[in-house]
Amino acid sequence: MTVYQSNFSVGMDGWYGRGDAVTLTPGLNWLKVEGRKSSWHSPGRDFDLTEGCPYQISVQVRQDEMDSAEMMLSVAHTLDGKETYENLARAQVKRDAWTTLQCTYTPGYYEKFVLYVETVGAPEMSFEFRLFRLEAPEGSEAAQAVSQDTGAQELPSLKQVYADAFDFGCALPGYAVNRKEVRELFLEQFSILTAENEMKPDALLDVNASRKLAQEDETAAAVRLDRARPLMDFAKANGLKVHGHVLVWHSQTPEAFFHEGYDTARPLVTREVMLGRMENYIRGVFEAVEEMYPGLIVSWDVVNEAIDDGTNRLRDSNWLKTVGEDFVARAFEYARKYAPEGTLLYYNDYNTAVPGKLKGILDLLQGLLPEGNIDGYGFQMHHTVGYPSMGLITSAVEKVAALGLKMRVSELDVGIDANTEADLRRQADKYREIMRLVLRFRDAFEAVQVWGVSDPMSWRSGTFPLLFDAGLNPKPAFFAVADPAGA
Ligand code: XIL
């Protein structure tokens, strides 16, 4: 049985640097070892080991400074004030590959034991280690000495926690795909990806190409996927699903899209021309995606944020001005026409919990239902710990659920005033309550997606609203989401 296991998701767990300048810094679920000047400079931890007990010891190590480095698991033991050493396990550690060092070790009689990880040569090499595990045979004296709860476990995976209920996903900006630690964290935690900006109209509409085509046909709309590709390639290579965001929106959409000849100096186009452009754009997006990434996108936000916060009616946008009141219905009609079979089509909006706006959203959804082109509603949920109340959020979810639509939390984040212990706890509580609510409606929810990986990557970074901090360490909110039934 396991008598000790490190959990570097919360702090150092008793590990310290051996050697003057050695520093240990927590990563996601590992410690990074830096500042070494000597091959024995290492992370170490004191252990109370039982004489004569055959322990199984293992640890995973990683380095990215050399093609291959030899590393050892060692013990320093003290008798009569004199420290002596034994090397217990030894392995070649290839660049970027978590490698396990393991051994069986039966201690003799000593007053003190320190287990540590060192290198053979490479005295200045930095490295990371995780999952340090000590096991003793069932029934042995050492096993009996250990309390039931060894505390330490590997970090839970949100996609696994919710696998039976719905997808757990996250928005990712294109630049983040280049960061290895972000990629690894994403793949450990999330099953569905949304492009934070790279599939919006200002990313997908090729204005220059459209302007040229418009000389022949004013309804033309050319699409390019180049900004979206790094994210789509990442998703495809790793078997992630993708939620498309977004086809029709008033924001992040080139002004030229709505003007004659794609020229902002000229008037807005007629309803007929704009319907033609809308249809050609939507068709173009689906065709381009299907050609390069068949089956990758499982759902789309067809229309985003059409309801105005003040009037609770359709927002005064270029879509309303050119097409008119039925632009939402037409967008869903075209999306259904060109989307691959089975693609789920969503209307997405924010402030759903605000009663007036909720009424406007429900009216819009109700009007769309008869045509049968809408599958679901996406709650953005850009919240703070204080607002809206769980009562308002609950009532909104209940009312949307009553329409019989599928649902998703499309853009979850919960802001706090300051990055303090107290606020982090309140934040965790709010996340937990939201997850409990979503679980109550688990049959209708297709996914929960947080809007970004870590606080500094958030569009609301000043409010520290996400599940991982600047060091990609899990926050209290992460553990609340991972265990929604917890206290
Ligand atoms: C935000 C992105 O996170 C930012 O990077 C960008 O500058 C602005 O848009 N509602 C939405 C999202 O539907 O597309 C928005 O994303 C956040 C609000």
359 pLDDT more than 90: yes
* Cβ of 110 below 6 Å from ligand 1: no
Region class of 252: left (phi > 0), else alpha (psi between -120 and 50), else beta: left
Position with higher pLDDT, 368 vs 138:
368
Please work out whether the CB of residue 380 comes within 6 Å of at least one atom of ligand 1: yes
Q: What is the rounded distance in angstroms from the CA atom of residue 87 to the CA atom of residue 89?
A: 6
pLDDT of residue 9: 61
So what's the pLDDT on residue 470?
Answer: 85
- Say what the pLDDT of residue 147 is: 42
440's CB contacts (< 8 A; 6+ apart) are none
Rounded CA-CA distance 166/42 in Å is: 43
Could you give the CA distance from residue 240 to residue 189 in angstroms, rounded to a whole number? 11
CB atoms within 10 A of CB 296: 18
The pLDDT > 70 percentage for the chain reads 97
Map out the domains of the chain as residue ranges: 2-149, 158-482
Find the mean pLDDT for residues 380-387: 98
Which residue has the least CA distance to atom 4 on ligand 1? 459
Buried b (16+ CB within 10 A) or exposed e, 167-204: bbbbbbbbebbeeeebbebbebbbbbbbbbbbbbbbbb
- pLDDT, residue 28, reads 64
Query: What does the pLDDT look like over 7-63, one tens digit per residue?
Result: 676 678 899 999 989 999 987 678 999 999 999 999 999 999 999 999 999 999 999
Ligand 1 pocket, residue 196 CB under 6 Å:
yes
The stretch 167-178 carries a mean pLDDT of 97
Residues 6+ apart with CB under 8 A from 471: 25, 26, 27
197 lines ligand 1 (CB under 6 A): yes
Ligand 1 centre to CA of 460 (Å) is: 10
Ligand 1 centroid–CA 245 distance in Å is: 10
Tell me: pLDDT of 365 over 50: yes
Give me the DSSP letters along 448-483.
EEES-SBGGGSTTGGG--SSB-TTSPBPHHHHHHH-
CA of 166 to the centre of ligand 1 (A): 23
CATH number of 2-149: 2.60.120.260
Q: For residue 411, give both structure tokens.
A: 């853009």
C-alpha of residue 487 to centroid of ligand 1, in Å? 33
pLDDT at 153: 47
> What is the per-residue pLDDT for 145?
64
% the chain with pLDDT above 90 = 87
Q: Which of 411, 454, 461 to mutate to test the pocket of ligand 1 (most atoms within 8 A of CB)?
A: 411
Q: How far is the CA of 107 from the centre of ligand 1 (A)?
A: 58
Overall average pLDDT of the 186-213 stretch: 98
Confidence at residue 22, expressed as pLDDT on a 0 to 100 scale: 97
In one-letter notation, the amino acid at residue 16 is Y
What single-letter amino acid sits at 37?
K
- By alpha-carbon position, which residue is closest to atom 16 of ligand 1? 196
User: Does the C-beta of 459 come closer than 6 Å to ligand 1?
Assistant: yes
Name the CATH code of domain 158-482 (choices 3.20.20.80, 1.10.630.10, 3.40.50.720, 3.30.43.10): 3.20.20.80
Instruction: State which H helix or E strand residue 57 sits in.
Output: strand 55-62
- Residue-wise pLDDT for 434-456, tens only, equals 999 999 999 999 999 999 999 99
Average pLDDT along the chain: 94
Q: Quick: pLDDT tens for 67-88.
A: 999 999 999 999 999 999 999 9
For the record, the structure tokens of 80 come out as 């009569």
Measured between alpha carbons, how far is residue 2 from residues 59, 61, 143, 148, 152 in Å? 13, 19, 8, 10, 10
Catalytic machinery residues: 305, 411
CA dist., res. 253 & res. 248, Å (int): 8
To test the ligand 1 pocket, which listed residue (459, 460, 463) has its Cβ within 8 A of the most ligand atoms? Answer: 459
pLDDT tens figures, 242-269: 999 999 999 999 999 999 999 999 999 9
Does position 150 have pLDDT exceeding 50, yes or no? no
Per-residue model confidence (pLDDT) at position 148: 39
pLDDT classification of 154: cutoffs 50, 70, 90: low
Counting from 1 in the atom list of ligand 1, the atom nearest the Cα of 451 is 3
- Residue 424, pLDDT > 50, answer yes
